[in-house]
Amino acid sequence: MTTAHWLFGDQLGPHFLSPGEDGPDRDVPVVIIEARSVFRRRRFHRAKAHLVLSAMRHRAAELGGRVRYVRSETYREGLREAVGDDTVTVHQPTSHAVLRLVESLGTVTVLPARGFLVPRPAFSAWADARGGRPLRQEDFYRWVRREHELLMDADAPAGGRWNLDHDNREPPPRGERTLGAPAPYRPREDDIDERVRHDLDRWEREGTVRFVGRDGPRRFPASRREALAALRRFTEHRLAGFGPHEDAMLAADPVMSHSLLSSSLNLGLLHPLECVERAERAWRAGQAPLNSVEGFVRQIAGWREYVWQLYWHFGDDYRDSNALRHDAPLPDWFLELDADAVTARCLATALAQVRDTGWTHHIPRLMLLGSYALQRGWDPRAVTDWFHRCFVDGYDWVMLPNVVGMSQYADGGRMTTKPYTSGGSYVNRMSDLCKGCAYRPTERSGDRACPYTTGYWAFLHRHRRRLAGNHRTAQAVRGLDRLADLDELLGRNTELGDAPP
């Protein structure tokens, strides 16, 4: 009897069905389960629910008669409906909870994970070989480059340097409203999207599922064909400009030269190797400069892989980390993505981008949304949940290290060497968002004090003892002693409280 293979909604590319030692048998029947309980449990961004359902249904349409597509309340019920008591195989799911679930079913054989460059045992061997030294991303990334011969000239990094970050931290071009990059790929909705919209409307009307955010025209690929077109468009037309302004923000140009490929990678529509190999080919063909290509390869072969590995390495308890003992609840205006209630132009802009598209690039995530939460002492678990629900590319594995570790420093420094937060001056240097804002980035107290500037100093003050002992933040903490208006500043910060800034 043939054993069917179960595909989760983030395992939708061809590499999840290709046979091999660790893969399903050739041409086996496929099971896809749309479990409504997933959408009931959390209040997702509607554009995210739309994208995931559209992608699952597009995959089912591609697989035709080979797939058993089941709509059920839970995965357990769906699997029973699809195969009864028969056994199935599945590639390792991407969250601790779903891995536990499939292991508990008794009829499921779990095959190794796919969709990443580094197998988990190889990472464990690398981590063991570090002999207790910190598992820093830069070391991991160089090891991945060597192992996969990415951007290498024999044993040396292409161009002679591993790290070209220095060339990739430029502020936005002065006086320009946009970067002027060629437009990114935009998919065209089809009948499947129409049916998804119809179902989501019905669920909302029935009151069984609630969403947040706007479900405008779908912006992200929902099929392999669309994802390949997006990758091609990026590598051929946009990659060349990826590097220099990677960390900059422009109010009128939210995407700049970013690839918009995260949701396609995380849905499994693209494999990371094909993305980095295409980028490298573009450099070798003289179509993109090395700093842009290295920057892109670093994001995928470095950061994305590192985050995936840390998720499993740190274990499920990592989500409860709260080294700074932050426990404030998220205010309603933030939960509801109520950008119109916010006066601070930078935060209003980023929140509006999330509301309207379920996406912002990494600097608004880290230095606007995450930084604001960190400065206000919001509960890191709730912040993680918010990011997970509100971003089209959010999944448990990618959320935990990025939010608990990188953004909220809730792990006390296991992932990063210092908390990522700043005053308004950083935002002013790296964006045009302070222009026309009611607040002034350099003012710490008074009515026009920038909420990021007061928040930054208040954060340093609150965690003074811990941060004074960290060589990367000690100098900033010493700056507190030079502030003549510290009390006034703290008062202004408290005044702001939970109200939208």
* Residues within the interface to ligand FAD (CB under 6 A): 258-262, 265-266, 296, 299-300, 303-304, 307, 361-362, 365-366, 370, 387, 391, 393-394, 398-399, 402-403, 406-407
Q: How far is the CB of 30 from ligand FAD (least distance, A)?
A: 25
The nearer residue to ligand FAD, 75 or 141, going by C-beta atoms, is: 141
C-alpha 341/C-alpha 350 separation (Å) is 13
Q: Strand 156-157 to strand 152-153: parallel, antiparallel, or no bridges (unpaired)? A: antiparallel
Q: Can you state the angle between helices 75-83 and 96-105, rounded to 10 degrees? A: 40
The nearer residue to ligand FAD, 294 or 393, going by C-beta atoms, is: 393
The number of CA neighbours under 13 Å toward the Cβ of 116 is 24
Q: How far is the CB of 394 from ligand FAD (least distance, A)?
A: 4
Q: How far is the CB of 133 from ligand FAD (least distance, A)?
A: 22
Q: How far is the CB of 408 from ligand FAD (least distance, A)?
A: 8
The nearer residue to ligand FAD, 265 or 433, going by C-beta atoms, is: 265
The nearer residue to ligand FAD, 384 or 445, going by C-beta atoms, is: 384
Q: Strand 30-35 to strand 4-7: parallel, antiparallel, or no bridges (unpaired)? A: parallel
Three-state SS for 208?
Answer: coil
* Paired tokens of 221: 């690929």
Nearest to 24, CA basis, from 41, 11, 34:
11
The nearer residue to ligand FAD, 364 or 423, going by C-beta atoms, is: 364
Which ranges of 234-361 would DSSP assign to H, the alpha helix?
A: 262-266, 272-284, 290-297, 305-314, 332-335, 345-357
The nearer residue to ligand FAD, 75 or 359, going by C-beta atoms, is: 359
The nearer residue to ligand FAD, 290 or 406, going by C-beta atoms, is: 406
Q: How far is the CB of 354 from ligand FAD (least distance, A)?
A: 11
Q: How far is the CB of 294 from ligand FAD (least distance, A)?
A: 12
Say how far residue 241 (Cα) sits from the centre of its chain: 21
Locus of tokens 């080294």: 323
The nearer residue to ligand FAD, 200 or 293, going by C-beta atoms, is: 293
**CA dihedral sign of residues 135, 139, 141, 145:** negative
Please name the residues in contact with 392: beta carbons below 8 A apart, sequence gap of 6 or more. Answer: 45, 47, 48, 51, 220, 262, 263, 357, 358, 359
Q: Classify the phi-psi angles of 422: left when phi > 0, otherwise alpha if psi is within -120 to 50, otherwise beta.
A: beta
The nearer residue to ligand FAD, 61 or 98, going by C-beta atoms, is: 98
Amino acid, res. 501: P
Mind giving me the DSSP string for 104-156? Answer: HHSSEEEEPP-SSSS-HHHHHHHHHHTTTS---HHHHHHHHHHHTT-SEETTE
The nearer residue to ligand FAD, 300 or 342, going by C-beta atoms, is: 300
> What is the 3 state secondary structure string of 238-254?
HHHHCCCCCCCECCCCC
Q: Under a CB-based contact definition with an 8 Å cutoff, are residues 355 and 335 in contact?
A: no
Q: How far is the CB of 388 from ligand FAD (least distance, A)?
A: 7
Q: How far is the CB of 340 from ligand FAD (least distance, A)?
A: 23
Q: Under a CB-based contact definition with an 8 Å cutoff, are residues 16 and 62 in contact?
A: no
C-alpha 499/C-alpha 334 separation (Å) is 10
C-alpha 76/C-alpha 101 separation (Å) is 9
The nearer residue to ligand FAD, 276 or 489, going by C-beta atoms, is: 276
Q: How far is the CB of 430 from ligand FAD (least distance, A)?
A: 14
Locus of tokens 């970050």: 165
Q: How far is the CB of 153 from ligand FAD (least distance, A)?
A: 23
Q: How far is the CB of 33 from ligand FAD (least distance, A)?
A: 23
